[in-house]
Amino acid sequence: MGIEEIRRLITTHAHKEDLGLPGVLINKITDPTRPTPAIAEPILAFSMQGAKRIALADSVYDQVPGTFLTVAVDLPITGHYVQASRAEPYLGFALELRSWSIAELLIEAASSLPGIQASPPPGISIDPGRASRTPDRPPGQQPDVHRPSHPAPAFQRLRTDPG
């Protein structure tokens, strides 16, 4: 899928309040905005058209087409859209990063790698809210691992939805 197809999908679905894809966000902005302070939560955000500027402390980052931004922990930022118009709006999409989901994927991926333990080590519990150390357990007793279902791949579902 090329960038033009992704832009088309964002434009087609941007009006929807609920995409039916938990953790997937799309953004279409038609006018530049003023700098606004916010707390950026863990996310992987891609810019497809236009530009957005993010300031974190003394560092400034321009997010332009074909670039991405990863935020791993909650961070205080100031951001604004600097290149957006009705003729060429800012277009972007993002995936919310959920620690339990990432931990689950790592455990599943590890099962196919030699020498990597496929289940969490004793004393580690993977919970949809967080991964945390649990009290010592008797040898051989594994903690419970919660396995929420995965949504279908985001763009596959958007591509098959007529809008």
37 and 79 inside one domain: yes
Q: How confident is the model at residue 123, as a pLDDT?
A: 61
Cα→Cα distances 133→49, 97, 101, 126, 136, Å: 43, 21, 17, 9, 9
Q: How confident is the model at residue 92, as a pLDDT?
A: 94
105 within some domain? yes
109 and 72 inside one domain: no
8 within some domain? yes
80 and 117 inside one domain: no
Cα 46–Cα 48–Cα 53 angle in degrees, nearest 5? 65
DSSP 145: B
Q: How confident is the model at residue 63, as a pLDDT?
A: 94
* Report field, pTM of the whole predicted structure over 0.75: no
Q: Where among 97, 115, 133 does a domain terminate?
A: 97
39 and 90 inside one domain: yes
- Residue among 51, 36, 45 nearest 89 (CA): 51
The number of domains in the chain is: 2
106 and 90 inside one domain: no
Q: How confident is the model at residue 143, as a pLDDT?
A: 40
62 and 111 inside one domain: no
| Ordered per-residue pLDDT tens for the chain, 163 residues | 788 899 999 999 888 878 888 888 999 999 999 999 999 999 999 999 999 999 999 999 999 998 999 998 899 999 999 999 999 999 999 999 988 777 777 777 777 776 665 565 566 565 544 444 444 434 444 444 433 344 444 444 444 444 4
Q: How confident is the model at residue 122, as a pLDDT?
A: 62
161 within some domain? no
50 within some domain? yes
Phi, psi at 27, each rounded to 5°: -140, 125
163 within some domain? no
156 within some domain? no
Domain boundaries, position 127:
98-149
